[in-house]
Amino acid sequence: MAGVKIHAKDTAKDLEEKALEQFAYSLSDTVNRLCDSGEAAGILDVTYDGVLVLIDEADRASPELDFGSFLKTLSERLNKNGCNRVLFGLGGLPSLRDVLYSSHPSSLRNFDQLFLQRLSTDEVIEVVDLSLKRAHEQNQHEYSITDDAIDMLVDLADGIPHFIQEFGHSGFEADTDYNIDDDDVMTGALEEHGAIDQIGSRYYQDTFEKELSAQQRQLLKFVAEDDKVWVSKASVIAKIEGEHGWVDPTFEELVKLGSLLLGEDEGQEAYRFKSLAFQWWVDSQSI
């Protein structure tokens, strides 16, 4: 149990300090007891070397939380209380580093950064195979998947584990004959609350709405709605009414941002999305 004594003169900052101090004391006391061979062995019949606290999606921490400063101060308070058996592990997108740094630059020193590589094509296929095997064990049905569906899942996943999970699940849910084909994958991805909605709301929406200009969004929309993989600059300009001198510099900006790739189509300057999932999401947006 933990409690905080509040005085009338306490400010909000005072209350935060007291709450953090009490939490650190309570946590350190609990961890020390769990790791004490005498007391823990008598209560739990087992002892522990330490406690690992895993925090997923840490990159989404609100600025008001002051996340980096909180973790740094908590770690210092734990050490002050004689507890050095707590390990914090954070999971999230690369922007997690910025979240910690903006809160307290030195909080980064508390962590070793491990950058996970994208899954290879073979690894994505292995995930799909293992998932279908698990579905068979749980549902007592034989499931199959077409080569076209696998190719689409590989393109949509873009090597990101969360993406293959979302697109694979939505395709599985859309299937009605125990044979998942590319139509199932597309239907599941594009339906309301499907994979595109889920992924877009987390990975794309904030950047698209808050960091891109209206002209950048408009060009992305023009490229996304075209059926061709490579979309020529000329075909985009043909859709624009009035002056279009802004098109070239805007395309350059989108290439620098990594949203589009520059190439050629039938000898003409052309563009395509770096991510098929992003293309589908942009195409689904009203601009």
213-284: CATH topology = Arc Repressor Mutant, subunit A (1.10.10)
| pLDDT for the residue 273 | 94
Token reading at 200? 């877009």
Alpha carbon distance 195, 72 (integer Å): 36
Calculate mean pLDDT across residues 226-230: 88
| pLDDT for the residue 286 | 85
CA atoms within 13 A on the CB side of 216: 18
| pLDDT for the residue 8 | 47
Calculate mean pLDDT across residues 157-163: 91
| pLDDT for the residue 185 | 97
Residue 250 has pLDDT above 70, yes or no: yes
Alpha carbon distance 217, 202 (integer Å): 18
Q: To the nearest whole number, what is the mean pLDDT of the chain?
A: 89
Lowest pLDDT segment from 31-45, 129-143, 187-201, 204-218: 31-45
Residue 9 has pLDDT above 70, yes or no: no
One-letter amino acid at 13 equals K
- Domains of the chain: which residue ranges? 12-110, 121-196, 213-284
Residue 53 has pLDDT above 60, yes or no: yes
CA distances from 247 to 168, 216, 255, 256 (A): 36, 9, 12, 14
CA atoms within 13 A on the CB side of 99: 20
Angle (CA) 5-9-11 rounded to 5° is 85
Band of pLDDT at residue 78, cut at 50, 70 and 90: very high
Residue 92 has pLDDT above 90, yes or no: no
Alpha carbon distance 233, 270 (integer Å): 5
Dihedral angle at the C-alpha atoms of 17, 20, 26, 29, nearest 10 degrees?
A: -90
Calculate mean pLDDT across residues 161-190: 95
Calculate mean pLDDT across residues 116-139: 92
Residue 3 has pLDDT above 60, yes or no: no
| pLDDT for the residue 36 | 77
Alpha carbon distance 153, 124 (integer Å): 8
| pLDDT for the residue 267 | 86
Band of pLDDT at residue 217, cut at 50, 70 and 90: very high
Alpha carbon distance 214, 284 (integer Å): 16
Calculate mean pLDDT across residues 255-273: 92
> Read out DSSP for 61-83?
--GGG-HHHHHHHHHHHHHHTT-
Calculate mean pLDDT across residues 79-100: 91
CATH architecture of the domain covering 121-196:
Orthogonal Bundle (1.10)
Calculate mean pLDDT across residues 242-270: 92
Give percent of the chain above pLDDT 70: 92
| pLDDT for the residue 4 | 41
